[in-house]
Chains A and B, each alone.
Chain A
Amino acid sequence: MCSRSSLEQEFFKKWVPGLQICSSLAKDMSFLERRKAIKLSADVAMATARDGKTCWSRALIANASKQEDKKIIVRTILGSEFERLTKSSIGSVVCEKRVRSKKILRKSCTTIRRVRKIRKSAPNRVLASSIAKRLVKKRTQVMKGLVPGGESMDEFSLLEETLDYIVSLRAQVDVMRRLANTLVLSIP
């Protein structure tokens, strides 16, 4: 239960070395690459501020460490934690396989159900509840795409992760905005 400012401080502390690396690499990178590197460094710093306790942070680090060219950024930010955190995120690979098999199973089930439903509900009576359920399902799917590592979560933990993720994102945006503004203001 870090307070907001402590979270921001944590994030900033972790981020500054990443920014350093980015600036040092900046000479040979295009603008887009630089932007991606900065974003990556910010995300990884955010995730490490959470210290591997949340699922989304682990998944984020896993995804980040997969990119070979920017691995050095990740490495510097994570520092000593690099080995530990990347190892724990290997489990997410296994989760992906499970998720994929779940999806296949789900698809087959839904087709069966659909066939059955067509036979049952001959009248065109559509209940509000069924609409709501469908909407909720669709939106949970979208949310799973938004939150990193969300695919392998059930609904309840998805909500938890979203909570945490929102808080971290807010802190991240705050710090980045302040930094960006001061840097912009510095331009004479």
Chain B
Amino acid sequence: MNSALPEMLQCVQTSENIAGNGTDMTVLERQRGRLKWQQQQLQSQQLQQSYFNENQLNLFSLSQTQHYQDLMNNDSAFRELANQSMKVDPDLENGWPNFTKYPIPRTGFCGEMKGFVSSGLQTDALEMDYSISRTSSCPPAEAVAMAGDEKGIESVLTEKLASTVGRDSFKKRKADKAQNPKVIVAGDVKVKKIKGDAEEVESKITEQNNSSNNRETSADTSKENSKVTEVQKPDYIHVRARRGQATDSHSLAERVRREKISERMKYLQDLVPGCNKITGKAGMLEEIINYVQSLQRQVEFLSMKLATVNPRLEFNIENFFAKELFSACPDSFPSVGMPSEIVNPAYLQFNPAQQVVSCGLDMAVNSSDMGLRRTNSSPVPVPETFLDSSSFTQAQLSTIWETDLQNIYNVEFHQGRSSAFPSQAFTGSMEANNLKMEM
């Protein structure tokens, strides 16, 4: 394996010669040299004139892919991980998508793609981080890296490189490698691109690179469309430029910003109903504005409604609510005795306590049964309204607010009807059965 290193160095030198400007080898040129060496292993192609040819770079990144496919066993594992992490959890029940933390897989292939895929969006973290840390995926590095400490190996490698080409940019890279690099991949990285990343040698560009180097960088990252940002203690952001796009620092930062914004817009699209077809930013914003305004108006309307109802009620019910709504209610009724004492004084004034329970957030029929048993002695309209409300809640729990308004009208209609009926006395069990049917 050690023999591989001098070969690699040879390749570097040759690539130096090819480039013609051997004095100023940047990180990228070195990496490209390494890639070329690998290419030479696989195919014999004319690389000289194609050094700056993007198509060629396409080809050998492809060949890299094929080559590495054989080598990498746990690539699929990594891919899966990355896939899972990249997938946005479409669960709208959570306000935020779920990004769970994944353990770090130490894949020991090809210079260790160490996958740091860590979680992202939390309420206190305004950044979504997908971090995949990568090291150089050079075959000679592979065996060396497998031997022991990654950082040590990297420093060995870099030292070797330094012996041939030692420049300031390289020193920067060494400093970078000394710390544990974390590479943050944007959320829209697809699987094959990750795979392509894995094969390619890790390349970082600082924002101080001049334009020619940047061009090479963009050529280098031919197949992948993802951008890789790296945040380390020196707080410049390493961004990989996309193919065929402007690569000065301003536009890179712009692109980072734009991608972040587009991600947010995607979540908002999931959240706001009916926004699937709208693709533009302006249209999306319009929809969001409308939705927020409508929600706010609803709050106003509901508070007005509560204000009308409010003075007729006494709010002794908080204990009742606390017990009924938020405690796990057992199937039997052992707790009936306790809350009933609290409830009874409030009960005569506040019939809908039970109804609230039934409309309550997670309550099953149990609580409503409890309420029902107490309604035996109650004024009669309660059972009917209770049944109405139970059906109403069932609809409520599953519909969005527009249909809910319709339901309100329906229920109130039923309400009006039921009051006209002659009062009947239901037994508790009958009511329970009815409720069970409707629930």
Interface residues of A (CB under 8 A from B): 1-5, 7-9, 12-13, 16-17, 19-20, 22-23, 26-27, 31, 34-36, 38-39, 42-43, 50, 53-54, 132, 135-136, 139-140, 142-143, 146-147, 155-157, 159-160, 162-170, 172-173, 176-188
* A166–B271 CB distance below 8 A: yes
**Is B303 part of the contact surface with A, judged by Cβ < 8 Å?**
yes
Which of B95, B257, B280, B298 has most A Cβ within 10 Å?
B95
* B356–A143 CB distance below 8 A: no
Q: Mark B248-262, 1 if CB is under 8 A from A, else 0.
A: 000000000100110
Chain A residues positioned under 8 Å from B308 (CB to CB): 31
* A159–B315 CB distance below 8 A: no
Q: CB within 8 A of B310: which of A8, A38, A54?
A: A38
* B314–A183 CB distance below 8 A: no
* Nearest-Cβ distance from residue B10 to partner chain A, whole angstroms: 48
A-contacting residues, B247-285, CB 8 Å: 257, 260-261, 264-265, 267-268, 271-272, 280-282, 285
Chain A residues positioned under 8 Å from B404 (CB to CB): 177
- Known pairs A9-B326, A183-B352; list 14 more (Cβ under 8 Å): A3-B93, A4-B95, A8-B361, A27-B311, A39-B303, A139-B289, A156-B257, A159-B261, A163-B95, A164-B123, A169-B295, A173-B298, A179-B306, A185-B385
**Is B388 part of the contact surface with A, judged by Cβ < 8 Å?**
yes
**Is B401 part of the contact surface with A, judged by Cβ < 8 Å?**
yes
* Nearest-Cβ distance from residue B215 to partner chain A, whole angstroms: 26
Q: Please measure, in the bound complex, the distance between the C-alpha atom of A160 and the C-alpha atom of B325, giving whole angstroms.
A: 31
Q: CB within 8 A of B280: which of A8, A132, A162, A182?
A: A132
Chain A residues positioned under 8 Å from B306 (CB to CB): 19, 35, 38, 176, 179-180, 183
Q: Please measure, in the bound complex, the distance between the C-alpha atom of A165 and the C-alpha atom of B289, giving whole angstroms.
A: 12
Chain B residues positioned under 8 Å from A186 (CB to CB): 313, 350-352, 355, 385
* B351–A39 CB distance below 8 A: no
Q: What are 29 residue pairs bridging A and B, where the CB atoms are less than 8 Å apart in the complex? A: A4-B93, A9-B326, A16-B315, A34-B310, A35-B304, A35-B307, A39-B299, A42-B299, A43-B299, A135-B285, A136-B282, A140-B285, A143-B288, A157-B126, A159-B268, A164-B95, A164-B96, A166-B268, A167-B95, A167-B271, A169-B292, A170-B295, A176-B302, A179-B356, A181-B392, A183-B313, A185-B415, A186-B313, A188-B379
* Nearest-Cβ distance from residue A88 to partner chain B, whole angstroms: 13
Q: Please measure, in the bound complex, the distance between the C-alpha atom of A36 and the C-alpha atom of B303, giving whole angstroms.
A: 8
Q: CB within 8 A of A139: which of B93, B285, B322?
A: B285
Chain A residues positioned under 8 Å from B300 (CB to CB): 35, 39
Q: Please measure, in the bound complex, the distance between the C-alpha atom of A177 and the C-alpha atom of B359, giving whole angstroms.
A: 10
Q: Please measure, in the bound complex, the distance between the C-alpha atom of A142 and the C-alpha atom of B288, giving whole angstroms.
A: 11
* Nearest-Cβ distance from residue B347 to partner chain A, whole angstroms: 11
**Is B55 part of the contact surface with A, judged by Cβ < 8 Å?**
no
* B352–A182 CB distance below 8 A: yes
Chain A residues positioned under 8 Å from B307 (CB to CB): 31, 34-35, 38
* A159–B264 CB distance below 8 A: yes
Q: Please measure, in the bound complex, the distance between the C-alpha atom of A167 and the C-alpha atom of B291, giving whole angstroms.
A: 11
**Is B411 part of the contact surface with A, judged by Cβ < 8 Å?**
yes
- Look across to chain B and name the residue whose beta carbon is closest to the beta carbon of A172: B299
* Nearest-Cβ distance from residue B166 to partner chain A, whole angstroms: 40
Q: Please measure, in the bound complex, the distance between the C-alpha atom of A159 and the C-alpha atom of B361, giving whole angstroms.
A: 29
Q: CB within 8 A of B292: which of A17, A54, A147, A187?
A: A147
- Look across to chain A and name the residue whose beta carbon is closest to the beta carbon of B124: A53
**Is B105 part of the contact surface with A, judged by Cβ < 8 Å?**
no
* A155–B261 CB distance below 8 A: yes
Chain A residues positioned under 8 Å from B356 (CB to CB): 178-179, 182
* A181–B126 CB distance below 8 A: no
* Nearest-Cβ distance from residue A12 to partner chain B, whole angstroms: 7
Which of A31, A143, A169, A182 has most B Cβ within 10 Å?
A182
**Is B131 part of the contact surface with A, judged by Cβ < 8 Å?**
no
Q: Please measure, in the bound complex, the distance between the C-alpha atom of A17 and the C-alpha atom of B322, giving whole angstroms.
A: 11
Q: CB within 8 A of B296: which of A135, A169, A182?
A: A169
A-contacting residues, B308-323, CB 8 Å: 308-315, 318, 321-322
Chain A residues positioned under 8 Å from B313 (CB to CB): 23, 183, 186
Chain B residues positioned under 8 Å from A53 (CB to CB): 123-124
Q: Please measure, in the bound complex, the distance between the C-alpha atom of A26 and the C-alpha atom of B355, giving whole angstroms.
A: 24
Which of A50, A143, A159 has most B Cβ within 10 Å?
A159
Q: CB within 8 A of A166: which of B280, B295, B314, B385?
A: B295
* Nearest-Cβ distance from residue A19 to partner chain B, whole angstroms: 6
Q: Please measure, in the bound complex, the distance between the C-alpha atom of A36 and the C-alpha atom of B299, giving whole angstroms.
A: 11
* B292–A160 CB distance below 8 A: no
Chain A residues positioned under 8 Å from B401 (CB to CB): 173, 177
Q: Please measure, in the bound complex, the distance between the C-alpha atom of A180 and the C-alpha atom of B411, giving whole angstroms.
A: 13
Q: Please measure, in the bound complex, the distance between the C-alpha atom of A34 and the C-alpha atom of B304, giving whole angstroms.
A: 8
Q: Mark B402-435, 1 if CB is under 8 A from A, else 0.
A: 0010001001100100010000000000000000
Are A166 and B272 CB-contacts (below 8 A) given A147-B292, A173-B295, A183-B309? yes
* Nearest-Cβ distance from residue B165 to partner chain A, whole angstroms: 40
Are A5 and B361 CB-contacts (below 8 A) given A159-B261, A164-B95, A173-B302? yes
* B325–A1 CB distance below 8 A: no
Chain B residues positioned under 8 Å from A164 (CB to CB): 95-96, 123
* B310–A135 CB distance below 8 A: no
* Nearest-Cβ distance from residue B40 to partner chain A, whole angstroms: 46
Q: Please measure, in the bound complex, the distance between the C-alpha atom of A170 and the C-alpha atom of B392, giving whole angstroms.
A: 19
Q: Please measure, in the bound complex, the distance between the C-alpha atom of A150 and the C-alpha atom of B235, giving whole angstroms.
A: 28
**Is B65 part of the contact surface with A, judged by Cβ < 8 Å?**
no
